[in-house]
Amino acid sequence: MSKLKQLQEAAQAAAKAARETAEKADREGRALTDAERTEYDQHMAKGRDLLEQIKVAKRDAEVLDQAKSLAQEIGGYAVDDVEGQKGAGTPTQRVKNLGLEVVSSPQFKSMMKGFTNSDGTVRIPDRTQVKSDPIRVKSLFTGASGTSAGAFVTPEQTGIIEMLGRRPLTIRDLISVRRTGSDTLEYVRQTAHTNAAAPVPEAQSAAAIDGTTVTNVIGGLKPEGSWAFERVSTSVKTIAEWVPVTKRALADAAQLEDLIRDELSKDIAEAEEAQILTGDGVGENLTGILSTSGIQSQDFDTDVFVSVRKAITKARTVGRVVPNAVLMNPLDVETVDLARETGGRFYGAGPFTMGPRTLWSLPIVESETITAGTAVVGDFSKAVLWDREDTTVTFSDSHADFFVRNLVAVLAEERVAFGVTRPAAFVKTTVTG
């Protein structure tokens, strides 16, 4: 059996042993023990070491094959012939071919000297590792140089344009979305409610009590409740962005127009999500959920689980809603996912969870828009976004001197209004100590 074959079988055995150790813990639904972790690491380290030996053995075999092939082509006296040409001192200005340059190098001569017989023939025994010092080759044609073979290489345009990527947008899918045809909207929300409902006795005459002449009627009075309302007004705001582009670029790059449309629309959507949650209501900003007067708050208590549970209670008992989501930053969701018992078991389903995450039976919604350390528990249907105009993208050269400079302004904008119809339905919760 060849050395390469032996190395390959040993590496496969090490990889198999490591895999079996990990699969055993996986089948039993537990983490690796310390002993299993040590055994796993040892097998993996052995496998990686054998892999490096296999790579070296393959390279040695390739060198051997190349040397054998070259020796067969140049014949038994090829080295002497080259030495004779050089010894004659004949000056030549022609560029040597690669084979001649290699066999005339001192490194190649030194390597082949050990395989040259007394009669001048060259014989390399089978399974012999052949290795020479690095041979410097001049005038080598290379595809990496623009003045060599690289000048003949024509790049292939794949059509792939890879952007930087964007954060997922989730909040718009949680809230209520409606349409409007006006620039100003009003809605009424209740600010107070006194429930005085109670059992009421039937009305009676006074004669039924003292036997005298009836002069009045007693009992039967109904208790009076109390409600208070307020009218809330919100106005439509514009979220917009534009970029300049040359007409030549739009004409030469067929994909550019669609790319600009798509990216500008996504920029608007990201700005909209930030406004829904954190808009401060100043100037042309929307008044977001966290800036709405009347939302509740829950301080950190013990850990993220206790804090969120107490926020749920506030939403139920004060906000009078059934919360439908917990909005959290991905870093806080990671804390929830990795929480473990003293014995090392995950509180949740661990890395093999299926389906959406939940916390106290509420869906966990991840959003990078919310600051780490803060969560929002609530009924998100009590926040309403009114679409006045959907996102549109327009092109125009009617900006400054764009017409004479062959420039085009690409503008994306949308017009929306936003309001929280029941502020107490939301609880801003601190989830880190």
In this predicted model, what pLDDT tens digit does every residue of 175-215 receive, in sequence order?
999 999 999 999 998 888 888 899 988 877 655 555 555 55
Q: Are residues 225 and 242 in the same domain?
A: no
Distance CA 193, CA 226 (A): 6
Provide the 10 A C-beta neighbour count for residue 341: 8
Per-residue pLDDT at 55: 82
Task: Tell me the CATH number at 296.
Answer: 3.30.2400.10
Structure tokens at 292: 């709405």
Q: Are residues 380 and 395 in the same domain?
A: yes
Q: Are residues 67 and 24 in the same domain?
A: yes
Name every residue whose Cβ is closer than 8 Å to that of residue 371 and which is 6 or more positions away in sequence: 329
Q: Are residues 288 and 422 in the same domain?
A: yes
Burial 419-432 (b: 16+ CB within 10 A, else e): bbbbbbbbbbbbbe
Distance CA 347, CA 373 (A): 20
Distance CA 184, CA 181 (A): 9
Name every residue whose Cβ is closer than 8 Å to that of residue 365 and which is 6 or more positions away in sequence: 170, 171, 174, 325, 326, 327, 328
Q: Are residues 45 and 121 in the same domain?
A: yes
Q: Is residue 171 part of a domain?
A: no
Predicted confidence (pLDDT) at residue 66 exceeds the cutoff of 90: no
**Residue 54's pLDDT band (cuts 50, 70, 90):** confident
Q: Are residues 273 and 369 in the same domain?
A: yes
Q: Which of 124, 143, 162 is the last residue of a domain?
A: 143
Q: Is residue 183 part of a domain?
A: no
Q: Are residues 225 and 248 in the same domain?
A: no
Looking at the chain, the whole-number percentage of residues with pLDDT higher than 70 is 79
Domain total in the chain: 3
Q: Is residue 387 part of a domain?
A: yes
Q: Are residues 65 and 202 in the same domain?
A: no
Predicted structure pTM score: 0.62
Q: Is residue 205 part of a domain?
A: yes
Residue for token pair 């003292």: 210
Per-residue pLDDT at 87: 43
Q: Is residue 38 part of a domain?
A: yes
Q: Are residues 78 and 195 in the same domain?
A: no
Distance CA 222, CA 181 (A): 44
Q: Is residue 220 part of a domain?
A: yes
Q: Is residue 245 within 8 Å of residue 407, measured between CB atoms?
A: yes
Q: Are residues 246 and 205 in the same domain?
A: no
Q: Is residue 307 within 8 Å of residue 301, measured between CB atoms?
A: yes
Output Rg (C-alpha) for the chain, integer angstroms.
Answer: 40
Distance CA 300, CA 431 (A): 5
Q: Which domain holds residue 50?
A: 3-143
Q: Are residues 269 and 382 in the same domain?
A: yes
Distance CA 359, CA 357 (A): 7
Of 28-37, 342-351, 412-421, the range with the highest mean pLDDT is: 412-421
Mean pLDDT of the chain: 83
Name every residue whose Cβ is closer than 8 Å to that of residue 397 and which is 6 or more positions away in sequence: 247, 403, 406, 407, 408, 409
Per-residue pLDDT tens over the stretch 84-121: 444 444 444 333 455 666 666 777 777 777 777 766 66
Q: Are residues 208 and 297 in the same domain?
A: no
Q: Is residue 282 part of a domain?
A: yes
Structure tokens at 122: 């060259």
Q: Which residue(s) pair with 237 in the sheet? A: 416
